């Protein structure tokens, strides 16, 4: 009887050990779906079956169990949704083999974790080289070249605009052959905040060999506009200035025109264009308040932000001629002698008529 009770007890424990992990897995509501890391960056995608308002991702970079770097990002996720977060490693690579680990916490409780080992420098290299990656408030550009002209590569390149770990915009150029020096460029189709730090990552997936790598850079966004030098007109009546937007940060400044003459105080006139973004243009017309005095003026045109920062300038000269006096009509003069002679003839004629009678 004792042996039978013991067997039942052991069986109950075994069933508990077997069933409990399965139950924990079934109850898992937030989990990692994919991850990637190299020496430049790391990304992780997570899903959830419930609303998470207080989530955290803890990224760790280690070398032989020695912690090199750690970063924490907060996240919010809706039920049934998937989100992706990206970080850039700050440490300069010094070793060959690393392990990147990401942990998922919900309300301070760890719910999932995964590790991603990688080798710095790659054991097998892709068939292309990244010569340069540059980015600005208008877009990003990637310059590539083949490692061997006789053995070119084909790859997919995903451009990502990132802020605070969130991917604000992503665009993939697929099946790009790198047979010679090749430049890939994109323009940002979304508006950017002024004077803000952004990161740009290009994730490259080589087809043969199958290698994924990342390349990162950053920029500070700002307003950029340019005066069209071929479309500036200044005359007696006013000025006309055409501007072009060069940034996805909207320009909300003014056009200022200064007229300088003989060292006197400048005459200042302003006009406001419509908000300008990349590849948009607007022409600003300014009319002088009064007629300008004759003389030669130096004309200074400034494009100013609302903080009075000069973004572009243009200078020219304006000449106002002397005003011509009204032309007076000559007065016809009368000849006094002719009037007297005519009077005498009239008297003689009258006398002759009188004598005949």
Query: Per-residue pLDDT tens for 153-183?
Result: 999 999 999 999 999 999 999 999 999 999 9
Q: Which two tokens stand for residue 2?
A: 């004792």
Confidence of residue 17 (pLDDT cuts 50, 70, 90): very low
CA distance 149 to 180: 7
CA distance 59 to 68: 11
CA distance 4 to 243: 93
Q: Is 9 a residue whose pLDDT tops 70? A: no
Lowest mean pLDDT: which of 70-74, 111-115, 199-203, 263-267? 263-267
Residue 231 has what pLDDT?
Answer: 97
How long a stretch of residues is the chain? 357
Tens digit of each residue's pLDDT (9 = 90 or more) over 184-240 = 999 999 999 999 999 999 999 999 999 999 999 999 999 999 999 999 999 999 999
Q: Which CATH architecture has domain 128-220?
A: Sandwich (2.60)
Contacts of 327 (CB under 8 A, 6+ apart): none
CA distance 352 to 348: 6
Residue 123 has what pLDDT?
Answer: 73
Beta partners for residue 301, in sequence order: 257, 314
C-alpha distances in Å from residue 338, one per residue of 334, 341, 345, 348, 352 = 9, 5, 11, 16, 21
Beta partners for residue 167, in sequence order: 162
Residue 210 has what pLDDT?
Answer: 94
Domain extent listing, the chain: 24-119, 128-220, 225-320
Burial class (CB in 10 A: 0-12, 13-18, 19+), 165: buried
Q: Is 115 a residue whose pLDDT tops 50? A: yes
Contacts of 229 (CB under 8 A, 6+ apart): 314
The average pLDDT across 136-152 equals 96
CA distance 131 to 147: 11
Residue 339 has what pLDDT?
Answer: 53
Q: Which two tokens stand for residue 285?
A: 């017309």
The average pLDDT across 107-112 equals 97
C-alpha distances in Å from residue 136, one per residue of 133, 147, 252 = 11, 27, 19
The dihedrals phi and psi of 41, each to the nearest 5 degrees, come to: -155, 170
Distance of CA 7 to the CA centre of its chain: 71
Quote the mean pLDDT of the chain. 88
Residue 1 has what pLDDT?
Answer: 44
CA distance 77 to 260: 60
**Owner of token pair 């022409």:** 283
Residue 52 has what pLDDT?
Answer: 97
CA distance 55 to 221: 29
Residue 263 has what pLDDT?
Answer: 75
* Identical fold, 128-220 and 225-320: yes
Sheet holding 97-106, edge to edge: 66-77, 52-63, 97-106, 109-119
Query: For residues 153 and 126, is the Cβ–Cβ distance under 8 A?
Result: yes
Residue 264 has what pLDDT?
Answer: 83
Share of the chain above pLDDT 70, in %: 83
Confidence of residue 7 (pLDDT cuts 50, 70, 90): very low
Tens digit of each residue's pLDDT (9 = 90 or more) over 22-69 = 333 456 799 999 999 999 999 999 999 999 999 999 999 999 999 999
What CATH number labels 225-320? 2.60.40.10
CA distance 225 to 242: 10
Distance of CA 133 to the CA centre of its chain: 16
The average pLDDT across 297-307 equals 97
User: 24-119: what fold?
Assistant: Immunoglobulin-like (2.60.40)
Sheet holding 267-271, edge to edge: 267-271, 254-260, 295-304, 310-320
CA distance 220 to 196: 5
Q: Which two tokens stand for residue 130?
A: 């990244």
CA distance 292 to 43: 64
């Amino acid at each position: 009887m004792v042996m039978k009770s013991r067997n039942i007890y052991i069986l109950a424990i075994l069933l508990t050990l077997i069933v409990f992990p399965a139950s924990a897995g079934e109850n898992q509501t937030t989990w990692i779906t994919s991850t990637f890391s190299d020496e430049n960056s790391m990304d992780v995608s997570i899903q959830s079956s419930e609303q998470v308002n207080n989530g955290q991702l803890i990224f760790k970079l280690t070398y032989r169990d020695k912690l090199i770097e750690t970063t924490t990002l907060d996240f919010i996720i809706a039920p049934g949704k998937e989100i992706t977060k990206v970080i850039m490693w700050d440490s300069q690579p010094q070793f060959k083999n690393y392990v990147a680990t990401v942990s998922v916490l919900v309300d301070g409780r760890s719910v999932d974790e995964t590790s991603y080992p990688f080798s710095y420098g790659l054991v097998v290299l892709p068939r292309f080289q990244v010569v340069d990656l540059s980015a600005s408030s208008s877009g990003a550009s990637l310059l590539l070249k083949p490692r061997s002209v006789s053995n070119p590569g084909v790859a997919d390149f995903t451009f990502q605009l990132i802020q605070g770990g969130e991917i604000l915009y992503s665009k993939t150029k697929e099946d790009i052959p790198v047979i010679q020096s090749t430049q890939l460029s994109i323009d940002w189709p979304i508006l950017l905040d002024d004077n803000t730090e952004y990161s740009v990552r290009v994730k490259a997936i080589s087809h043969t060999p199958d290698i994924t790598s990342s390349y990162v850079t950053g920029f500070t966004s700002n307003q950029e506009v340019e005066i069209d030098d071929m479309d500036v007109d200044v005359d007696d009546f006013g000025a006309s200035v055409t501007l072009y937007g060069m940034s996805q940060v909207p320009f909300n400044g003014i056009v200022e025109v200064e007229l300088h003459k003989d060292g006197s105080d400048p005459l200042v006139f302003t006009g406001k264009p419509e908000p300008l973004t990349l590849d948009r243009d607007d022409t600003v017309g300014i009319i002088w308040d009064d007629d300008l005095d004759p003389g030669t003026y130096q004309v200074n045109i400034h494009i100013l932000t609302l903080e009075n920062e000069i973004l572009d300038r243009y200078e020219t000269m304006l000449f106002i001629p002397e005003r011509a006096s009204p032309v007076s009509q000559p007065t016809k003069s009368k000849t006094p002698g002719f009037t007297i002679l005519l009077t005498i003839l009239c008297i003689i004629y009258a006398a002759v008529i009188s004598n005949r009678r």
